[in-house]
């Protein structure tokens, strides 16, 4: 019997992880034998073109999907060896998500969506109340709007406020600036960056090479493989100096 715990100092540890999808006769390898270790408090950008496996990788790390092979150890515990109940508890206690498609509840207002995130997370917010978080993403005037009454960028900011309002130690954000204009995008990146300064581990997925320049570390994917892992090319320290 394999041990269920491990100590490496990394909060995220992937060991030869693959994810294959079977579509009829065709097998798609979305994540192909990836090994990766991420230390607590790192601000990491996962970069890669459309279809390179970024969302699949994030879903595996967040225990929203199961690996076809390999092991994933999060915060010292192998999520790949957990049962459903343990995985569900891990999600509530350890990760906060910003989904590529936002996943807001259509019948809840912006404020209620963020409150729901706070209430369902095991660890209580360290960043302020739901209302304060919505104000930090510039939506203090949209608290009582339902998702269908919000623009794409506003919905994205509600999803970000929901993730920021929980106290879970790992923040996974899938294309968090994809719907935002440049100025709002910079503000959101600054907010996400601040999270890593306060000790959270932040993983941002993007296909935008400019955004990668402000990361501590860039993990670049192509066809499910890591093709580069290190400090970003042309690194810049100040997010305000970015342009795209």
**Where on the chain is the footprint of Mg ion (CB under 5 A)?**
55, 100
* 30 counts as binding ligand ATP under rule CB under 6 A: yes
Q: Which does 81 bind (CB under 5 to 8 A by kind): Mg ion, ligand ATP, none?
A: none
User: Which one of Mg ion, ligand ATP, none interacts with residue 48, CB within 5 to 8 A by kind?
Assistant: ligand ATP
Which part of the chain contacts ligand ATP (CB under 6 A), choosing from 23-31, 89-97, 125-133, 196-204?
A: 23-31
The least CB distance from residue 112 to ligand ATP, in Å, is: 28
Q: Residues 164-203 vs ligand ATP: string with x where CB under 6 A?
A: ----------------------------------------
- DSSP string for residues in the chain: ---SB---S-SEEEEEEEEEEEETTEEEEEEEEEEEEE-TT-EEEEE--TTSSHHHHHHHHTTSS--SEEEEEETTEEGGG--HHHHHHHHHHHEEEE-TT----TTS-HHHHHHHHHHHSSSPPSS--HHHHHHHTT-TT-TT--GGGS-HHHHHHHHHHHHHTS--SEEEEESTTTTS-HHHHHHHHHHHHHHHHTT-EEEEEES-HHHHTTSSEEEEEETTEEEEEESPTT--S-GGG---
**Which option in ligand ATP, Mg ion, none does residue 94 bind, with CB closer than 5 to 8 A by kind?**
none
Q: Hey, which residues between 207 and 236 contact ligand ATP (CB under 6 A)?
A: 207
Token pair of 227, please? Answer: 């093709």
Site mask for ligand ATP (CB under 6 A), range 70-109, x = bound:
------------------------------x---------
- Which residue lies nearer to ligand ATP by CB, 56 or 113? 56
Tell which one of 27, 28, 227, 236 touches ligand ATP (CB under 6 A). Answer: 28
Name the residue among 95, 161, 169 with its Cα closest to residue 132: 161
CB of residue 18 vs Mg ion: minimum separation in angstroms?
18
- In the complex with ligand ATP, which residue's Cβ is closer, 29 or 187? 29
What are the residues binding ligand ATP (CB under 6 A)? 21, 23, 28, 30, 48, 50-56, 100, 207
């Amino acid at each position: 019997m394999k041990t269920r715990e491990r100590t490496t100092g990394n909060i995220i540890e992937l060991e030869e992880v693959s994810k294959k999808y079977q579509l009829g006769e065709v097998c798609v390898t979305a994540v192909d034998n990836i090994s990766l270790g991420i230390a607590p408090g790192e601000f990491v950008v996962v970069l890669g073109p459309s279809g390179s496996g970024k969302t699949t990788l994030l879903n595996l790390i967040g225990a929203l999907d199961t690996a076809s092979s390999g092991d994933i150890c999060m915060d010292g515990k192998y999520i790949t060896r957990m049962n459903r109940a343990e995985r569900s508890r891990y999600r509530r206690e350890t990760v906060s998500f910003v989904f590529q498609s936002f996943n807001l509840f259509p019948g809840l207002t912006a404020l209620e969506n963020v409150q729901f995130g706070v209430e369902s997370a095991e660890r209580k917010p360290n960043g302020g109340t739901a209302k304060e978080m919505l104000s930090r993403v510039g939506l203090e005037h949209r608290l009582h709007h339902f998702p269908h009454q919000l623009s794409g960028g506003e919905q994205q900011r509600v999803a970000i406020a929901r993730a920021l309002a929980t106290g879970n130690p790992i923040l996974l954000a899938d294309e968090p600036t994809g719907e935002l204009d440049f100025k709002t995008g910079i503000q959101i990146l600054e907010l996400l960056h601040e999270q890593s300064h306060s000790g959270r581990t932040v993983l941002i997925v993007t296909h935008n090479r400019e955004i990668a320049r402000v990361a501590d570390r860039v993990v670049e994917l192509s066809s499910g493989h890591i093709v580069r892992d290190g400090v970003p090319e042309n690194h810049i320290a100040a997010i305000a100096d970015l342009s795209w």
